[in-house]
Structure 1
Amino acid sequence: MTVVLGIESSCDETGVALVEIGPGGAPRLLGEALHSQVAMHADYGGVVPELASRDHIRRVIPLARQALEQAQRTLADVDFIAYTRGPGLAGALLVGAGVACALAAARDLPVLGVHHLEGHLLSPFLSDDAPRFPFVALLVSGGHTQLMRVDGVGRYALLGETIDDAAGEAFDKSAKLLGLGYPGGPALARLAEAGRADAYALPRPLLHSGNLDFSFAGLKTAVLTQVRKLPAGPDAATRADLAASTQAAIVDVLVKKSLAALKATGLNRLVVAGGVSANRLLRQQMDAACAARRARVHYPEPRLCTDNGAMIAAAAALRWQAGLARPERRYAFDVKPRWPLEPISQGGPAC
């Protein structure tokens, strides 16, 4: 069995986890620790990169100790260390990369840089209901909305992506227009529970475009237009109705584009991953739509939808198992704040 220590520090969560994998087997989570910076950034209405980086520095070593203790392992039991190389905030990425390489050098361990989105993509393999290849993947988060055909680890073909705002950005920006706090997406979803999804006729951009691309900027503009029409100090019911209508528009596009991708590829298995995959309405409607089509849909465990070290360790373990990445004892590192997912189909970079 091979034990991987994974470190995630791409944005506003510091995550460390240990994953174990054997020949031909699925990754198994041994221990994990996570710290969210939401409370720290809330006063600013969004992530402050410098504060995020400094907080990662404070948290990562104590979290590593916590994950090792939970797993009842020590660094002597670790075979290699993985970290998020990109995409993400440059300063935040450098913290995780630096700590990973320093720990590895101290213990004479190999290291491996991991793509953040590949971590999300492969995170459902840590669940009891793990998917089987091939499948269509909907990667949906604050900064990314993509549909991929996935034929195996490292075998990814882009089917469609957002041409402007991602779905998570549409949630967050609409929440800000409604005067909700940070993080906006979960706040809007909570408010939407008290509203009527059909109260406002909001657009579904590119829904009938004939391709698998997304666009959410127009929806945000439509929400802004409706907010400006609201009376001063609108009552709670009115705000809840607009929140519910906004959420319904986003979810409708995600579900129908995903079903179109299944039809275009002829596949009957879907993976939905990324932060927005935790949205309850999205899961309900995606489950119903896939059941009607007799397709299977898989999600990460809810706690693994946000950024976390477990997905980084699992992605590294699966790439190593597939022979696509070779951890190396090279401790000079760099990071990739902008890093498309598709090119890594040909292999994985080491630190």
Structure 2
Amino acid sequence: MSESTVILGIESSCDDTSAAVIRGNKILSNIAATQQVHNEYGGVVPELASRAHQQNIIPVVSKALIQANIQQKDISAVGFTRGPGLLGSLLVGTSFAKSLAMSLQVPLIEVNHLQAHILAHFIEDANIMPPKFPFLCLTVSGGHTMIVLVKDYFQMQIIGKTIDDAAGEAFDKIGKILQLDYPAGPIIDRMAKEGDPLRFSFSKAKMENYDYSFSGVKTSVLYFIQKLLKEDPTFIQSNIYDLCASVQKTIIDSLMVKLEKASEELGVKEVAIAGGVSANSFLRAEMKKREETLGWNTYIPKFEYTTDNAAMIAMVASLKFERGEFCDLDVSAAARYDLIQDFTK
């Protein structure tokens, strides 16, 4: 990658407004504005999210340029998240990116959000070393859970995915049952460290191939809690740490079983994780264990590259810039944007 190429990346797929500047594969800045307005609703409200993006995007981009110590005239191209995500949120980022690219007369580069999570591993400081092709990547977040076989930067195959809830969604829904604040994933992770993961047992879906299902564990927890609350109204408060540890173990174990199966049957020992749930400490620890027990080479990204961020968008845009893959200014946001379609068109 050319060290003279400077790309501005913009991410607005959900409730975080983010902008980053990359030179080659080195991140010069990675700024994000998190929307706190959704906490009281127990989930992201699309209309509120798009309004907040409109308020945040100019200050965030300005701060990213200042921190990177570059001016608008230094930008070689503008990369942005086209999808998938919330349409209203995506429209804000897409419109801003198109306008900026047009005003600067530089190329515009569309990026698939899921592709970006996976290729974040190739940011200079994401890992000690980037993954070697081919590798398996467990891409797991609030909206998506899938195992992807990555043959090259732009050759990927989804070999397994959830048929219902994503793992991150399951954490949040179960967190609501346990009367925890939103987002519940990080809270469960923190509380689980103080609990016994073997104290309670919850059902795990038996899926064929490499697919997942997490709606069952949510229902299992719900019925379990309803039953115990009738016997003891303080049950949740009295057992919250063990509940969190047991829930976390159930979800992470389900993720790892299918990942192990894919690694063994495909003969791939290079294994990575990506997405918001890849910040989970128990998942990261289980990945490291497999280095010793199964001989995996594992790739776990820095925390700042796990959640939705513009650095990963800028990374993909940098790769596409080298290939001359630009898009027209009439490009539109896509709430549904299939990973495979992006690579085979």
TM-score (norm 1): 0.93
TM-superposed CA distance for 1:343, in Å, is: 1.8
Q: Which amino acid aligns with 2:132?
A: R
TM-superposed CA distance for 1:235, in Å, is: 5.4
Tell me which residue corresponds to 1:24: none
Tell me which residue corresponds to 1:200: 200
TM-superposed CA distance for 1:210, in Å, is: 4.7
Tell me which residue corresponds to 1:161: 161
Contact 2:127 2:301 in 1 (8 A): no
TM-superposed CA distance for 1:204, in Å, is: 2.1
TM-superposed CA distance for 1:236, in Å, is: 3.1
TM-superposed CA distance for 1:290, in Å, is: 3.2
Tell me which residue corresponds to 2:311: 310
Give distance in 1, aligned partners of 2:146 and 2:14: 19
Give distance in 1, aligned partners of 2:159 and 2:11: 27
User: For each residue in 1:34-70, what CA deviation from the matched residue of structure 2 results, as whole angstroms up to 9, or x when unmatched?
Assistant: 1111x21111111111111011111111111111111
Tell me which residue corresponds to 1:18: 21
Tell me which residue corresponds to 1:178: 178
User: For each residue in 1:264-296, what CA deviation from the matched residue of structure 2 results, as whole angstroms up to 9, or x when unmatched?
Assistant: 211110110000000000100111023311111
Give distance in 1, aligned partners of 2:165 and 2:298: 25
TM-superposed CA distance for 1:316, in Å, is: 1.4
Q: Which amino acid aligns with 1:303?
A: E
My pick for the range that moved more, 279-288 or 232-241, is 232-241
Tell me which residue corresponds to 2:276: 275
Match of 1:226 among 204, 224, 227: 224
Give distance in 1, aligned partners of 2:152 and 2:37: 39
3-state SS of paired residue (2:203): coil
Are 2:11 and 1:8 equivalent residues in the alignment? yes
Are 2:46 and 1:55 equivalent residues in the alignment? no
TM-score (norm 2): 0.94
Q: Which amino acid aligns with 2:143?
A: G
Match of 2:37 among 33, 40, 43: 40
Tell me which residue corresponds to 2:26: 28
Q: Which amino acid aligns with 1:262?
A: S
Percent pairwise identity = 40
My pick for the range that moved more, 121-130 or 171-180, is 121-130
Contact 1:140 1:166 in 2 (8 A): yes
Unaligned runs of 5+ in 1: 22-26
Contact 1:3 1:78 in 2 (8 A): yes
Q: Which amino acid aligns with 1:268?
A: K
Q: Which amino acid aligns with 1:97?
A: T
Unaligned runs of 5+ in 2: none
Give distance in 2, aligned partners of 1:319 and 1:270: 24
Give distance in 2, aligned partners of 1:343 and 1:98: 22
Contact 1:13 1:34 in 2 (8 A): yes
Q: Which amino acid aligns with 1:117?
A: L
Name the count of aligned residue pairs: 336
Give distance in 2, aligned partners of 1:245 and 1:121: 28
User: For each residue in 1:122-168, what CA deviation from the matched residue of structure 2 results, as whole angstroms up to 9, or x when unmatched?
Assistant: 11111142212110011000011100110101101111100111111
Give distance in 2, aligned partners of 1:299 and 1:240: 26
3-state SS of paired residue (1:294): coil
Question: Runs of 4 or more off by more than 4 Å in structure 1?
Answer: none
Contact 2:320 2:326 in 1 (8 A): no
In 2 relative to 1, CA 106–45 (structure 1 residues): closer, same or farther, beyond 3 Å?
Answer: same
3-state SS of paired residue (1:316): helix
Q: Which amino acid aligns with 2:326?
A: P
Tell me which residue corresponds to 2:254: 253
Give distance in 1, aligned partners of 2:309 and 2:139: 15
